[in-house]
Amino acid sequence: MSPVGVYWGRFNPPHKGHLSVIRKFQVQCDLVVAIGSSEHRNEKTNPFSGAERKRMVEAYLKEAEIEGVRVVTLPDGKSESWAVDNLIQKCRPDLLILSTEKSRLSDLAEQRIRVVRFPRTGRI
């Protein structure tokens, strides 16, 4: 059985760099794209709702003929630790795929599951 990997981000909006990461990790694990901050919308850093971003990611995957990737929305919730707990509970990942950006969220996740980092430039 393949490990479950979660590619967690806001995808505001999804772009070719996201697709590059999805292509790379889809062959290594059962991939879940988790759209974070899903309860936010109409904000500078979150212009689209979680549902809109989910539809965009699904359309992008279809256009790129990428199959077998599950797309879910995840709210941030009450705290960063709540967000990590929600991710782990909903997706049950063996590994978490994140950008090279260090954050409290990634530090909290790294205490519980393996974290794989990739460069933000889209070059993998």
- Domains in the chain (CATH in brackets) are 4-118 (3.40.50.620)
* pLDDT tens sequence across 68-123: 999 999 988 888 889 889 889 988 888 888 765 667 778 888 888 888 887 665 44
Report pLDDT for 48: 93
Report pLDDT for 121: 55
Report pLDDT for 35: 92
C-alpha–C-alpha distance, residues 116 and 122, integer Å: 15
C-alpha–C-alpha distance, residues 75 and 83, integer Å: 7
* pLDDT tens sequence across 15-62: 998 999 999 899 889 999 999 888 888 888 889 999 999 999 999 999
Rg of the Cα atoms in the chain: 13
Report pLDDT for 123: 45
C-alpha–C-alpha distance, residues 99 and 80, integer Å: 17
Q: Burial, 38: exposed, middle or buried (Cβ in 10 Å; 0-12, 13-18, 19+)?
A: buried
C-alpha–C-alpha distance, residues 96 and 83, integer Å: 13
Report pLDDT for 122: 46
Report pLDDT for 34: 92
pTM of structure: 0.86
Count Cβ neighbours within 10 Å for each residue of 1-29 and write b for 16 or more, e otherwise.
eeebbbbbbbbbebeebbbebbeebbeeb
Report pLDDT for 98: 73
Answer for the pair 81, 104: CB distance below 8 angstroms, yes or no: no
Is the CA virtual torsion 26, 32, 35, 36 positive or negative?
A: negative
Answer for the pair 28, 68: CB distance below 8 angstroms, yes or no: no
